[in-house]
Chains A and B, each alone.
Chain A
Amino acid sequence: MGRNGGLDMRVPANLRSPRRRSQVRRRGTCPGLGRRRHGAGGLPETTAERRSGCLSHSAASAGVDGALISSPHVLRQSRVTVFGAVPRRRGRRPGPTPWAPLRRPLAECRLALVASSVCLAHDGWRSDPAVQVGDPSLRTVAGDLAGAAPTARSPGLSDPSAANLDRNLAFALERLREAVADGRLGELNRRHLALGGVMAAGSRAIRKRAPQAARWLTDDRVDVALLVPT
């Protein structure tokens, strides 16, 4: 919390001088309109003065919502005289992080893999117009694929050749099958997910598709998800 309680106390340029501020207080001069003078206390006295004079003072005395005021001058004034302070715009504050504890031993859990690469079950991604760099689509990959079957391509800043050197870098199905065979993990889900273009698509596209991913995995009664970026 700052000195002003987290609020932005911006003073108009014509009020920054201490001499000018005291002049305004003493003479009741509207700082924005220069020579116009109000009555005692700096407030407009007559109806004409209210109509043609300083709307910020009128609004302050009448309790009018400052949003109705359209003059740039009055808007500047309203920061100080009507509202006093304007809340500072801040970025989105992260809410509390959800937490789902492991409900059963890992040896009994069903796991789904979620990869952030464009993964297809064939090698034709170069000719597939649906797959482009930054494509934010959500894809399912069948869990019974052979280890070398999914062709992975990572758009954006990643090394696009890495996943094709070893498919397990993007889609670690072989390593997870080994864990199942060793009894470390219960089983793999019948399908896995691939999100494409995380960096290029932006968080808005990901936020839009994440609930669909959650629905799919919830329907499959998945206990655990391993998320692998590329």
Chain B
Amino acid sequence: MGLVALELERCGISTVALQLLHKAAADVRPPRALWVPFRRGYALGPPDEPAGQRAVIETAFAMLEDSSLTAPALRDFAGHP
């Protein structure tokens, strides 16, 4: 995902990549990465929990809108209330 994000950003497309592996995000260094503490296959959290999935997406959107971030930005998902 990080490699694709790098290419898209080079073409002027803003990206935010969810990351399941912290080390992968640190190695590839995509421009905006949101590490989510879920197991593989569950990038948006447990199934059939729309509120939790929406919280992940909303956090990703917040990273896109945060103009204070600089590349590479890696943020940890803190969970949803």
Q: Is chain B found bound to chain A in the same assembly?
A: yes
A residues within 8 Å of B by Cβ?
94, 96-103, 106, 114, 116, 154, 157-163, 165-166, 168-170, 172, 174-176, 178-179, 184-185, 195, 198, 203, 206-207, 210-211, 213-215, 217-218, 222-230
Q: Is the CB of A106 within 8 A of B11?
A: no
Q: List 13 A-B contacts (CB under 8 A).
A: A97-B9, A98-B71, A101-B14, A157-B40, A159-B40, A210-B3, A213-B8, A225-B8, A226-B15, A226-B57, A226-B60, A227-B5, A230-B40
Return the chain B residue nearest A154 by Cβ.
B41
A229 to B70: give the CA distance in the assembly, Å. 23
Ranked 6 nearest A-B pairs via Cβ: A162-B41, A166-B47, A159-B41, A210-B7, A97-B71, A227-B17
Contact pick for A166, options B5, B28, B48, CB 8 Å: B48
- B 1-45 contacts with A by CB, 8 A: 1, 3-20, 28-31, 39-45
Point out residues on B near A: beta carbons under 8 Å: 1, 3-20, 28-31, 39-45, 47-48, 50, 53-54, 57-58, 60-61, 64-65, 67, 70-72
CA distance A168 to B60 in the complex (A): 15
Q: Which B residue's beta carbon lies closest to that of A210?
A: B7
A103 to B15, CA, bound (A): 12
Contact between B61 and A184, CB atoms less than 8 A apart: yes
Q: Count chain A CB atoms within 10 A of each CB in B3, B28, B41, B64 and give the residue with the most.
A: B41
A203 near B3: Cβ-Cβ < 8 Å: yes
Asked whether B31 lies within 8 Å of A97 as measured between CB atoms, the reply is yes
